[in-house]
Amino acid sequence: MMHRFSDGWKYGIIFWLSLGFSATASAQINFLDNAAFNNDLSGWDVLSNETSEWIDTDSGDNPASGAVELMHIGTSNGGTALSLSQCIVATPMVDYEFGGYFRVPDGQPEGTEAVITVRTFQTSNCVGDTEQFFDLGSRSDRWQRRSEFFSTGEFGNSFQLSLGVFKPSGETADATAYLDEIYLHERESRASYLNPSMSASWYNPDESGHGIMIHILDGTSAWMCWFAFDDGGDRAWICALGTIDGDTIEFADAFTVSGGAFPPAFDPDQITETPWGSITVTFDGCNSGTMTWVTSATGYQSGSMPIARLTPLWGADCS
């Protein structure tokens, strides 16, 4: 049964390369002012003059732009210190997406996170009781793009997006984090996420060293390989052809292969394909999702994990 594996893999690679030259994505309106922190912090309401400042460390290494440095001063014990915010008029019963680039520089207290929060209000000016609360954070010491979505609900007429730093309870040392390219826009329909831009490398940020590559083949199917290890520490390629349903891809017949050798000793007749189980990948935005798997194969256990985008696809911007 090597034919299915080799043809699928070859087709996936060719399609992956061709997407870089043919895929496009529609732009969406970002409701935030000065979201890229090009020259300063203008457009943002300052919640504490001592806990934020503009820096020239841009997430995309753009010398003409910068980012915001946020500080959680050590006089308080843990929690989230919010430094900057913007209030935006919202439309009730509409889905929105927010996110940005997060980074925690070296030398910070363990558990420090760069944080974005969103609160919705019944009023149109972010005054009064909070209707809903959402937050998104990252501990990555490299720039990491993350996103989350929410609905304003029946009474959501405004929302306040804020930037800050979290540190664990009991931690009194100062903590610093960076944020850049913040965005908040109306969310596209779930099915629209599964476009060519989702062809990428994905991984669990807390378990760097293994991950998956997904190739969107067309509007209904996708190919994936999970580059992982078994319980004995041996390398394992777990691959499958999947079916797209909305924001979910079902890989019902995942399999592993064995028996290969490095060229020129490679002999396709020696390859054995072994059923492994099933894998489900559900995306909650352009840059994050959840991967769940069920297997009875020896040396593996069923489970799940969050996944985040590791690489973008050139020329295909999901957001």
189: helix, strand or coil: coil
Quick one: pLDDT at residue 50?
A: 62
Q: Where are the domains of the chain?
A: 2-26+191-309, 45-187
In this prediction, what percent of the chain has a pLDDT beyond 70? Answer: 87
Q: What is the DSSP letter of 268?
A: G
Instruction: Identify whether the C-beta of residue 92 lies closer than 8 Å to the C-beta of residue 62.
Output: no
CA nearest to 62, candidates 101, 31, 33: 101
User: Strand pairing partners for 216?
Assistant: 222
12 vs 32, residue with greater confidence:
32
Is residue 189 very low, low, confident or very high in pLDDT (cuts 50, 70, 90)? low
Neighbours of 282 (CB within 10 A): 17
- The answer to whether 89 touches 124, Cβ cutoff 8 Å, is yes
Which amino acid makes up residue 280? T
Q: Comparing 80 with 245, which gets the higher pLDDT? A: 80
Between 52-56, 185-189, 283-287, the lowest mean confidence (pLDDT) is in: 185-189
Residue 23's pLDDT is 33
Please count the other Cβ atoms lying within 10 Å of the Cβ belonging to residue 185: 16
* pLDDT score of 247: 82
Distance CA 315, CA 195 (A): 13
Kindly indicate whether the domain formed by 2-26+191-309 is annotated with CATH number 2.40.160.
yes
**Spatial separation of the C-alpha atoms in residues 140 and 290, rounded to whole Å:** 18
Residue from 168, 245, 183, 152 nearest 29 by CA = 183
Q: Could you tell me which residue, 227 or 189, shows the higher pLDDT?
A: 227
Q: How far apart are CA 319 and CA 310, in angstroms?
A: 15
Q: Helix %, strand %, coil % for the chain, to 5?
A: 10, 45, 40
Residue type, 176: T
Q: In angstroms, rounded to a whole number, what is the distance separating the alpha carbons of residues 263 and 72? A: 55
Return phi, psi of residue 285, to 5°.
175, -175
Whose tokens are 């990555």? That residue is 140
Range with lowest mean pLDDT among 2-11, 77-86, 106-115, 162-171: 2-11
Residue 256: closest CA among 270, 243, 237:
237
Q: Is residue 293 pLDDT above 50, yes or no?
A: yes
Rounded to whole angstroms, the Cα distance separating 82 from 163 reads: 6
Question: Is 45-187 the same fold as 2-26+191-309?
Answer: no
Cα 139 off chain centre by: 13
Write the pLDDT tens digit of every residue in 274-283. 999 999 998 8
Q: What is the per-residue pLDDT for 129?
A: 92
Q: What percent of the chain has pLDDT over 90?
A: 45
State the pLDDT at residue 146.
81
Please state the three-class secondary structure of 199-220 as a single string.
CEEEECHHHCCCEEEEEECCCC
Neighbouring CB atoms inside 10 A of 97's CB total 21
Distance of CA 274 to the CA centre of its chain: 31
| CATH code for residues 45-187 | 2.60.120.260
Three-state DSSP state, 10: helix
Q: State the Cα–Cα distance between residues 277 and 250, nearest whole angstrom.
A: 11
Q: What pLDDT, on the 0 to 100 scale, is given for residue 14?
A: 33
Closest CA to 22 of 223, 319, 311, 316: 316
For the chain, what is the mean pLDDT?
A: 84
Q: How confident is the model at residue 44 (pLDDT cuts 50, 70, 90)?
A: very high
